[in-house]
Structure 1
Amino acid sequence: MSRASFLQRLLNGVAVEWLPLGDLTKYEQPTKYLVAAKNYSDDFATPVLTAGQTFILGYTDEVDGIYKASESSVLIFDDFTTANKWVDFDFKVKSSAMKMITSIDEGKILLKYIYYWLNTQPSEFVDGDHKRQWISSYTGKKVPIPCPHNIKKSLEIQAEIVRILDAFSELTAELTAELTARKQQYKHYRDQLLRFPGGEAEWKPLSEIGEFIRGKRFTKADYVDDGIDVIHYGEIYTKYGAWADRTFSKVRRDMEKSLRYALSGDVIMTGVGETVEDVGKAVAWVGKKEVAIHDDSYAFRHAMNPKFISYVMQTNAFIDEKVKHVSRGKVNRLLIDGVAKVRIPIPFPDDADRSIAEQARIVAILDKFDVLINSISEGLPREIELRQKQYEYYREQLLTFPKPEEVEA
């Protein structure tokens, strides 16, 4: 499907007119749709949205001020970041920065066509810039409208482009839904596997199993291209699993004596986080060399299988105990003396060889699940990434019309 040949067949010689986005759409401020309560729960019915990557922040039981997108779909747009989402279900919103965008006349301009075109545009988000992007910039953007003087023909072309892109989007959505289901299945199976309901494990506090070693402080000014390998606490949020063969950040080599290091076999935990749940996230460090850690991280040094411990630290039972030892404030911080008292299961504690074998068996099982739901080189995340790239490729092919000189200018 080359861009030239496909668009030529689709347009069949009709003209394309570039019209201001502000003439094709209208917007509504989110004021009456803002959520008041913060007690989100999966037991509630109405999702609370942001236009950003998180999208669904949680669910509310509020019944007033709900946007009825199930009756008429809408494009939500973050005025500061320019992030946007297509929504076809009822919702409330979190931020007053969001705008609800609709077509000025769905009988002439399909909003879904506008949505797909909008996502071909490069982001204009500038960190620290708080101007309202929709009015100041986006309403003046020129949108290619095929055959605007023949409404029937124009809608047929718009609808065909939407149909093709919907097909790609739906495939990605199906894979994403499958990934979500697999993650829930994995978490349930992991938690059941690590409960040891048969009594073949003894639960011991972490302080009896090993010791916590806190890292040393470094700042952005200490980062270099060639220096000491280091793990910043923030990286743990996005790099679950083992840390062998990773590409690490680096800090100045002259800091070597002042730093503290994680060794092969340690489990590294975050000491702070944006949310209470983020604090204390853990990954297994099973590399062949030492690596420095930031003072908002801890290395848990022990004699067990490091992946086994990191999997235990991801269970709901461990998280429920861990959050009791987090100080809440502007910065949520781990109280390590309290965490050291949290108990974890030790399989067959009176038989070292059998215990090690059982830990390895459980790790092998959970590793297979982990690859399926987290690996970017194989498994569902890889498949989703490939489908997303395919969708983006065809979106660009279908919506990149030749621009006349006055539009280019």
Structure 2
Amino acid sequence: MNILEEIQNCPVEWKELGEVCEVKAGKNINKTFIQNNLGNFPVINSGKEPLGYINIFNTQNDPIGITSRGAGVGYVSWNEGKYFRGNLNYSATAKDEEVLLPRFLYFYLKNSSKEIENLCTFDGIPALNKSSLEGLLIPIPPRKIQEKIVQTLDKMTDYVTELTSELTSELTSRKKQYSYYRDKLLSFEDEFYQVEWKTLEEVAKDFGRGKSKHRPRNDARLYGGDIPFIQTGDIREAGKWIENYSQTYSAFGLQQSKQWEKGTLCITIAANIAETGLLGFDACFPDSIIGFVANPKFAITEYVYYYLNSIKDYLANKSYGSAQDNLNLSTFSSLKIPVPSLEIQSRIVQVLDNFDKVCNDLNIGLPKEIELRQKQYEYWRKMMFNFNKKGDSIL
């Protein structure tokens, strides 16, 4: 009899979490306290990552945490050893580990994300009430079955983690290789090509900051409209070509703005510094983005895109600002770039397009592989908890 058959045929008791576990919150903590007490013990609070590391702990060998408030509400974590549990994190501690294995409970709670989400409230700040969580039904199969489930899922977890690490490492290596050859090609160190150094403004047909007299959200609400309006986030999340937009503008909004042509190079100068992308459609954008269209007598817009990408770190280091980093228009208008002949620019674009395609294929293929393995893991985890409250199989 395999593990799935054993699961379907074993006796199971269903009890509320509060019956078999003690649920409690941690202690209040803030960033100032963390900064003044740096150490090696992680601070587990809201969110998926530790809030920081401090020199004291308030929890030991109590690994199951559930975020009680904020954007990550309901997230279930496993935290071994000593750590500091914040007040936005519940612990779920088995009252009798002979009855309920903590690791089994952890896997079951991870498998019950939808059920936990249904217990949360989302009016204002998302929150998970302690009494609601304590009412969550938990299956209690025989201990031997719990052990087999834990062993199986631990092995699968290790496999998925290792595979994800390998694929992520491969993707990172390919991106580094691409960046190296791109930067080498655009450095003109060997002076093999004859180049002139010109400012962006000198080689531009159209160059300037975007305009948005009306907030796109308000403009669309009042006047409707379907004119694409991109934000800095749309550029950051795109590759070479910006194919998606988050908001729209109306014809009325356009009267006090500007619509840039397809192929315009967009450069962010606030929030996400020196991110670049080429418009895949005519669009408007705010003054936190610079638009550049090359004068075809001097330059190819795609060539300028690749060159700015090669000096992105340099540009980011020139940013300034207190609340958030900024670059101004004059930084770019006076920025000098190497300008070889149009023929050489075209050849460089062709080479880098090929590099970009290979890298993009990997960027699609490898994460897709990771996603498929994760879904496969989640499917089998679901099968591990295929207990039926009425005694009949749900397969």
2:218 maps to 221
Q: What is aligned with 1:294?
A: 286
RMSD, matched Cα? 4.2
Q: Counterparts in 2 of 1:226-241, with a 5 A limit? A: 227-241=226-240
Q: What corresponds to 1:279 in structure 2?
A: 273
Pick one of 83, 88, 105 that aligns with 1:97.
88
- Distance in structure 1 (CA, Å) of the matches to 2:189 and 2:81: 42
**1:134 to partner: Cα distance:** 6.0
Aligned residue among 251, 256, 266 for 2:264: 266
Aligned to 1:144: 139
> 2 CA distance for matches of 1:219 and 1:337?
26
2:68 paired with 1:79: yes
C-alpha change, 1:322 and 1:388, in structure 2 (3 Å) is same
Cα shift at 1:227 = 1.9
Structure 1 residue runs of 4 or more that deviate by more than 6 Å after TM superposition: 32-35, 44-50, 66-69, 88-95
CA distance in 1 between counterparts of 2:56 and 2:177 reads 35
| Cα distance in 1, alignment partners of residues 92 and 274 from structure 2 | 40
- Superposed CA offset, 1:337-364 (max 9, x none): 2343344x42xx3523223322332332
Task: Say if 2:345 is the partner of 1:355.
Answer: yes
Letter in 1 for 2:217: K
Amino acid in structure 2 at the alignment position of 1:24? C
- Counterpart code for 1:140: G
Letter of the 2:220 counterpart: Y
> Could you tell me how far apart the structure 2 residues matched to 1:323 and 1:96 are?
38
The gaps in structure 2 that reach 5 residues or longer are none
Q: Which of residues 4, 10, 15 in structure 1 aligns to 2:11?
A: 15
Q: Distance in 1 between matches of 2:288 and 2:24?
A: 43
Equivalence for 1:390: 376
What letter matches 1:156 in structure 2? Answer: K
Distance 1:398 1:219, change over 3 A: same
Q: TM-score, normalised by structure 1?
A: 0.72
Shift of 1:383: 1.7
**Is 2:23–2:93's contact at 8 Å kept on the other side of the alignment?**
yes
Write out per-residue CA displacement over residues 283-312 of structure 1, whole angstroms, 9 at most, x where no aligned residue.
122x3x422223433322224444443344
Paired residues of 1:26 and 1:104 also in contact (CA < 8 A): no
Q: Deviations over 1:248-267 (max 9, x none)?
A: 64333443333312222311
Matched, 1:338 2:334: no
Cα offset for 1:9? Answer: 0.7
Contact 1:110–1:159 (8 Å) recurs in 2: no
Cα offsets for 1:54-102 (capped at 9, x unmatched): x478xx8x67247999xx6934433213253645678978976345666
For the Cα contact (< 8 Å) 1:169–1:391, is it kept in 2?
no
Specify the alignment match of 1:206 in structure 2.
200
Contact kept in structure 2, 1:67 and 1:90, CA below 8 Å: no
Aligned to 1:114: 105
Residues 180 and 91 of structure 1: is their aligned pair in 2 closer, same or farther, counting only changes over 3 Å?
A: farther
Taking a change above 3 Å as real, the CA distance of residues 202 and 254 of structure 1, as seen in their structure-2 partners, is same
Paired residues of 1:20 and 1:142 also in contact (CA < 8 A): yes
Cα gap change, 1:319/1:12 in structure 2, threshold over 3 Å: closer, same or farther?
Answer: closer
Do the aligned residues in 2 keep the contact of 1:325 with 1:336 (CA within 8 Å)?
Answer: no
Q: Which amino acid aligns with 2:133?
A: Y
* Separation in structure 2 between the aligned mates of residue 82 and residue 213 of structure 1, nearest angstrom: 39
Residue in 2 aligned with 1:324? 318
Name the SS for the 1:269 alignment partner: strand
- Please tell me whether residue 250 in structure 1 is matched to residue 248 in structure 2: yes
Which segments of 5 or more consecutive residues in structure 1 lack a partner in the other structure?
none
For residues 182 and 107 of structure 1, the distance between their equivalents in structure 2, rounded to whole angstroms, comes to: 49
TM-score (norm: length of structure 2)? 0.74
Shift of the 197–402 alpha-carbon distance from structure 1 to 2, 3 Å rule, reads farther
- Which residue identity is paired with 2:63? V
After superposition, give the CA deviation of every residue in 1:219-267 in whole Å (9 maximum; x if it has no partner): 31333786222223332232232125x4764333443333312222311
Cα distance, 1:368 vs structure 2: 1.9
Q: Are the counterparts in 1 of residues 230 and 245 from structure 2 also a CA contact under 8 Å?
A: no
Aligned length: 372
